[in-house]
Structures are given as C-alpha cells and as structure tokens.
Amino acid sequence: MSTRPLRLDGLHIHVAGDGPPVLLVHSINAAAGAHEMRPLTERLAATHTVYVPDLPGFGASERRDVAYSPRLYTDALHAVTDTIRARHGTAPLPALALSLGCEFLARAAGERPAVYARLALVSPTGLMGTTARRGPAGASRAVPGLHAVLAAPWWGERLFRQLTKPGVVRYFLRRTWGADAIDEQLWADAVAAARAPGAHHAPLHFLSAGLFSADVLSLYEALAVPVWASHGTRGDFTDYRGRVHLAGRPNWRWTVYDGGAMPYFEHPAAFGRDLDAFLAGVSEQV
C-alpha cells in the first residue's frame, strides 16, 4: 500500500490511513525496516493513522556511522511520539513492536508512561532462558571490543555484504519462520533494504550485541499499561522461559501462535482479530 512520507531529523516515518494514531516499531537485523510491518500497516490503516518509522540506520532513514545504542533508538521513539502528539493531541496512544524493537519501546514507555495507552510486543527479546536480566540501568550487552573488530575498514562492510546476499537473507527468514515457505515480498524488501549506502553501520552494532539491553527484564517489569505479548512455536525464537519472571503480573497477557516469530504474516486474520480486540480494550487473551 502507499504511505505518506514524513521526515524528522534524519528519520523517515511512513504514515498511512486516517483516524486515531497507532505506532508500529520494526525489529533489528541486517535487513530490517518498516517493510516488516506491512500486513499490520495495511490492516490498521483502515481505522487508524499508522506511524511506522524506519529506525536510525535502516530503511529510508539516515544510515550514518554513529554509535548506535539502545539510548539512540529510545530517543528516536521519543521524537516520533512527540510528533504524533503534536498532530493528534496528547491522549495516550497504542503501540506495537517486533523482536528487539520491543526493548526500545519498553524503555520509551517506562521513561514516558503518559504517552502510551497499551503495548503489543511480538516475539519480544530478553526472555530467552531463565536468567533474570536486571543489569545496570541503561547498560547494553555489548561484547567489549567486538564492534571494533567487526567494523574494521577492511572487513566490516564485506562481512555485511556476505550476510545480506539474497540466499543468506532467505536462510535467516526461513529460520525466523521455522519453515521453508516465507513471505516472498518481505524477502524482496529485505534484500533491497540491505543494498542502501551505509546499510552496514547499524547492523554491525547489532552483531556485537550493543543494541540489546542488559536491564531488559527491569524494563518489562516497570510497565504499568496493559501489555499483550505473543510469539510462535517454530523457528529460532521460541525460548520464552524467561516469562516466568513476569508471571502473576495482571497487566501482562500472552498468546502463542502455531507458526514462526512473525505471526501476523502467517495468521493475519487470527492475529488481526486479537490485535483489534487488544487495541479496543475489550479482550485481552491469557
């Protein structure tokens, strides 16, 4: 579907539809971008004004060689919501994030709780295994020295190009799906996204673990708004033993879909109904 572009201090925001605002936040990987939100953007645009930023370093946003960090991405979300509130008023808005984007959204909501009405977290990171990740506030899980090695002038961009060859992108999407059949348009969009100048800068920080929050469990525990979390049963992103640390929190609800880590691609009708109900506040599944 066509979207209306909005530029904001180096950020490119895709805007679609008309109605109350909703924010969608994509994941982080070598070929990430707003294209990961396509089915949700198309559905929600029928009833909402949908804002989908390309996060810094991805999509049509600036891809500068800077120190990408959880702080940078959280501040980007603050800038986006400031713009949304200037356009639509200050009523709290709903938001949905995918994978590592959930950590940035949780931090943003914890810092500015009055901005958000409710959060949908799809395949949220930070809950693998049983380790309670309550590290120092604001710290990342970066491996010391690894980014310097990965980003070496003679190596970094070459490594990225190898990781984003069409066949490699397909391989990783199949691992995300937990199946051979993937969304072909998503694959094509991901391959195209990885070809942009400077596309390697942010992913190299991701590969060095510098975008993962050491205090992620503390971020999730601090959320007071309704939270609907979901994940799949197949692929590389099915270990959610860490949700035991969130058990008993009355504002958290979970749904598990028979599929991979992007259930809205595989089960658009079921996921859409569940999301619509959550946004309306009339049904929050356990």
Q: Report which DSSP code applies to 143.
A: P
Residue closest to 274 by CA, chosen among 203, 263, 216? 263
- Report the C-alpha gap between 102 and 128 in whole angstroms: 14
Find the domain containing 239 and state its range: 4-280
Three-state DSSP at 285 gives coil
pLDDT per position as a tens digit, 158-203: 999 999 999 999 999 999 999 999 999 999 999 999 999 999 999 9
Q: What pLDDT sits at residue 3?
A: 82
74 assigned to some structural domain? yes
Cβ atoms < 10 Å from Cβ of 195? 10
Q: Look at residue 103 and tell me if it is in a domain.
A: yes
pLDDT digits (tens, 9 = 90+) for 141-158: 999 999 999 999 888 899
CATH number at residue 181: 3.40.50.1820
Q: Which residue has the tokens 């920080």?
A: 205
On whether residue 157 sits in a domain, the answer given is yes
- Helix, coil or strand: residue 163: helix
pLDDT in tens, 108-137: 999 999 999 999 999 999 999 999 999 999
Dist. CA 264–CA 272, nearest whole Å: 7
Average pLDDT over the chain reads 95
Rg (CA), the chain: 18
Handedness of CA 281, 228, 90, 3 (dihedral sign): negative
Is residue 17, in this structure, part of any structural domain at all?
yes
Alpha helices of 11-145 — where are they, by DSSP H? 38-44, 70-88, 101-111
Amino acid at 275: L
Q: Determine how β-strand 11-17 pairs with β-strand 49-54.
A: antiparallel
92 and 21 in contact (C-beta within 8 Å)?
Answer: no
Structural domain includes residue 286: no
Q: Is residue 285 part of a domain?
A: no
Does residue 159 fall inside a structural domain? Answer: yes
Nearest to 33 by CA among 101, 122, 107: 101
Q: pTM for this one?
A: 0.96
Number of domains into which the chain is organized: 1
- Identify the pLDDT of residue 132: 92
